[in-house]
Amino acid sequence: MEHTASCRLAAERFHGLTDAYRCFLAGSCPRRSAADAAGLILSGVRGPMPAESGECCRELGVELSCCSLTLVQQMSCRPTQAPAYWTQVLMLLFEHMDLMAVLVHHFNHEEQVVCHLAAKTVSTNVVYHLHKCGAVSPIWQQKCVEAFNSSVSGPELDSCLWSLTDVLKQLLKEAHQEILQRLLAAFDSSLCTLCSNFLPEQRKEAAQGLVGFTQGRPRGTTFCLFLDLLEALTASTLMCDTGLKSQRLTYLHSSALLTTVSCSPEYFVKKRVLLLLKRAVLQKADASERVRVKKQTV
């Protein structure tokens, strides 16, 4: 009986969220107040409460989380294009309801789709927050720094790697040099630690560690996400060379990366490393050519 009531409540939340999502896509406002809409979205992101432990509630909870996360991500993508109602909802969620803390907590969610949507929502809001006030989200930064310093393979590290890479790519695409510099400075130390943990300096240590780390899908996936981040960091030098060590990690650890190619048993890891090194060489050549042309014009 209790499970039936809990599932009914979850179903009501889901219908409320889908109605809110339809209104947002249509550019209109639901009947409920902005505070009520924000509360509904927050409850959806959190998922079912511990008392709502039935299988039906668990599945509905995942759907609730996915729907809520997608709505928040869309609101963060185009805040200026939506009515003021939705801007107020977004402000209530992040400034008064501490939604960012809930989102980064989902980086370690047991459902992979929730992990990914949480990371996607976070990265979109981080970029929005950077444009709005020029500051890096402290909650997100702390979560990523902790994950990078510990370098423990798992959903949380994967989400942190993906979200930072996505933020970097968005800033590179939009050519926001000053904001990019601020972001890189915030993560420089922890990124160097992460790279040292993944790519030991000594060849023997690298060979022993990389074989174990890149073998198997979960760890191999984490390593490829790490390579994606290295590529974005290397590409950032074309927009602004800040002199930070994190921008040169691919070059500084090129020997260990080559060791990965010879030692890793996973083909997709070998291929991904070779692509990274190839693009790094091309980018360096392009940067050198730009400097040469600039000197000639001067």
What's 97's DSSP letter?
A: S
The tens digit of pLDDT for each residue in 153-184 reads 899 999 999 999 999 999 998 877 889 999 99
The tens digit of pLDDT for each residue in 3-28 reads 566 677 777 888 899 999 999 988 88
User: Quick check: 165 and 232 in contact, CB under 8 A?
Assistant: yes
Q: How many CB atoms lie within 10 A of CB 42?
A: 17
Task: Examine the pLDDT at 113 and tell me if it is beyond 90.
Answer: yes
User: Quick check: 144 and 163 in contact, CB under 8 A?
Assistant: yes
**In this structure, which amino acid lies at residue 260?**
T
User: Quick check: 247 and 241 in contact, CB under 8 A?
Assistant: yes
